[in-house]
Amino acid sequence: MASDEQQFQLSTRTLHADRLAGVEHGGIHKPIHTSVQFGFERVEDLIGVFQGTLKGGFNYARQGTPTSAALERQITLLEQGVGTIAFSSGMAALTAIFWTLLRAGDHVVTSQFIFGNTNSFFGTLANFDVDVTKVDVTSAANVEAALRPNTRIVFAETIANPATQVPDFDAIGRLCRERGLLFVVDNTITSPQIFRPGTVGAGLVINSLTKTIGGHGAALGGSVTDTGQFDWDRFPNISPSYLSSPARERGLTQIRKKALRDMGAALAPEPAHRISLGLETLPLRVAHTSATADALARFLQRHPAVSQVMYPMLPEHPQYEIAKRHFSAGSWLLSFELRDAATTLPVLNRLRLPIKATGLGDNRTLVIPVAPTIFWEAGPEARAMMGIGDGLVRVSVGLENVDDLIADFDQALAAG
């Protein structure tokens, strides 16, 4: 409404009053902007927002809001990328990449050590005539051997959940660059605080904001960041409508238009705000949880009731050298196997601090026996392929005091 507002009736002025005064009020947090619609003084700006020429303009909340845009800027900074799109969950972010960038007849090479729901999604892709080959990414030679002329994307996670395998990052990044392939990395477990996949040539980075970045476990969210490392001129599946935008913007433009606008998995302003608040303490939380996980891993490794501990910062870990070279810390994820698998459930039931729960990346320590729960649907064959034994226990280390946590594991194992 223009400044000559006095000519309008009170009801009209009341209806528009919220946007007559400055809306930010000097608040030092980005406010939760719940508006779904965005209006413009000049119709030229309305046209500009549709044609992408009005920078910073908002069209409709399904394609982003000022609150989600503020979070996107924070994540772009953390990943040192060129742009980010926020989604309603990590799975929405991950699936958006494959739905919007692939076509029937394309081929994907993925790590065989992946999040269960991602594994299930790759099964769905097969129904749309996209072939997916699963390989052991701890050696780049396996990735190279699986490549075909129609391969478009190579996908891996930084530290695999639950058995903590780490990809042969430098060699896979080099291979993808040489072949003009898009390397997509799920950075959820490590977060940009520990590792930036752009440094090894990943073109797109996924983060489940529900986990390390939010931390509190009180909001679902996900993101896709373009690192600026991939040359989109080499990608054949960009729709002609987006070829007019600069090459470095094409991937994200297509993902935002197709995935947010057409498929609608937008991050609502309220969870975007909660995730932004969590993100502010990311460096402190990652330092604490990684130090505690490291100490707990070393304690478990020495314990006679434990047969194996999986944690990338243990020198016995098969990818210890890669982890040490690339990660600033080991993260909050560790897994272990008891010598006597039959004692697994009683040991977990004796734990007093860790919560027996499905999720991970929370401020509270969570534990879960993996085979009978999250990887039950996958079946014994897939479990064996991912290195998941029947007695494997996953621990997502939280912010509890390290001595309290170790003492609790000690008493639970002692009665073993």
Ligand X SMILES: *Cc1c(COP(=O)(O)O)cnc(C)c1O
Can you give the binding site for ligand X, defined by CB under 6 A?
A: 89-91, 94, 115, 118, 157, 161, 186, 188-189, 208, 210-211, 220, 222
With left for phi above 0 and alpha for psi between -120 and 50, is residue 27 left, alpha or beta?
beta
> Which is closer to ligand X, CB of 222 or CB of 391?
222
Residue nearer to ligand X on the CB measure, 220 or 272: 220
Residue nearest to ligand X (CB): 90
8 Å CB contact between 87 and 267: yes
* Min separation Cβ 5 and ligand X, Å: 44
Map tokens 């050590």 to a residue. Answer: 113
- Give the position of tokens 């799920």: 186
**In the complex, least distance from residue 411 CB atom to ligand X, rounded to whole angstroms:** 29
Give the nearest distance from C-beta 41 to ligand X in angstroms: 38
Minimum CB–partner distance for residue 151 and ligand X (Å): 22
Residue 266 burial by Cβ neighbours in a 10 Å radius (0-12, 13-18, 19+): buried
Report in angstroms how near the CB of residue 377 gets to ligand X at its nearest. Answer: 16
Q: Please say whether the beta carbons of 195 and 158 come within 8 A.
A: yes
**Cα separations (Å) of 185 from 198, 199, 379, 400?**
9, 11, 25, 30
Task: Write down how long the chain is.
Answer: 416
Least distance in Å: CB of 89 to ligand X?
A: 3
Could you tell me which of 181, 248, 173, 259 has the C-alpha nearest to residue 222?
259
How far, in Å, CA of 312 to CA of 305, rounded? 21
Q: How does DSSP classify residue 64? A: -
Nearest approach in angstroms of CB 187 to ligand X is: 8
Q: What is 159-207 written as a DSSP string?
A: S-TTT-----HHHHHHHHHHHTPEEEEE-TTT-TTT--GGGGT-SEEEE
